[in-house]
Amino acid sequence: MAAASLSGAFTAVVTPFTDDLSEIDWPAFERLVDAQLAGGISGLVPCGTTGESPTLTDAEQRELVKRTAALAKGKVPIFAGTGSNNTKKTIDASKAALEAGADGVMIVMPYYNKPSQDGLIRHIQTVTKELGGAPVILYNIPGRTGIELTVESTLKVLDSSPNVVGIKDATGNVMWCQELLRRAASRVTLLSGDDPLTLPMMVVGAKGVISVTSNLLPREVSEVCADALAGRWDDAKKKHLALLPVHRAMFVEPNPQPVKAALALEGRMKPGVRLPLVEASAGCREAVSRALEEYRKR
């Protein structure tokens, strides 16, 4: 898969659970994926942080990827979240996801260990080499991992790992994406990892977003990206700014608590999340409900 094919809105798919949280609610999951496809989403990313990957079993992750692939039927690319702070585990999880039907994988930078930049580079190189050329998206989110892959390190990775086709930039630092795009725009596709920053990042060359909000509003998020990619900047700006309060509401509490609350308010799944996350508070539910109501009556 060429880097150029990574564009538009990709959904970081949530994982619905049954009432007691012991099992995945497969009917709800299938409805969610079907709604993404019907809404014109450009790609699907199961088993990421939004999908509560830290609390999924290996078997659950494989089954999520398998079912996502079966539902997508090749219509959109699937990049499974497989990263961890253990290089061998990341390799094993990535191979399992590819065998289950993923088109590629997304690997988060190793958390908690706080490796040096050399350690990050060698981690990525080791994983990508073991995957036989399968496409890889790097996920840079220092707010969750405690470590940032620098632009200089990213350039070194691109020199050594040609199957790194994309970067999910959730640094929250628009200078990071600008510097990378200034130096490597032709070598890798950059996708926003923060819904509120999607349009600002696309203005300087990002090609889309891996989105939380699109679980709820796939068509609306997709339209912002499509307008921006087509150069319809006034339309993209109008739609992006209208969505901004919804984007913000999705992060008033730890993700994915708010988006699950929003989907539950619409009767699409249960709101439960597995510990150590907790179900969205009454205040969060009110904020989410208010943002959606205001968006839809605009």
Give the active site residues: 139, 168
Cα–Cα distance, 256 to 272 (Å, whole number) = 10
Cα–Cα distance, 61 to 55 (Å, whole number) = 10
| Triad 57, 58, 59: Cα angle to 5° | 90
For residue 34, what are its two tokens? 């079907």
Q: Which long-range contacts (CB under 8 A, 24 or more apart) does 34-38 make?
A: 34/71, 35/218, 35/268, 36/11, 36/214, 36/215, 36/218, 37/71, 37/72, 37/75, 37/76, 38/218
DSSP codes, 177-217 = HHHHHHHHTTT-EEEESSGGGHHHHHHTT--EEEESGGGT-
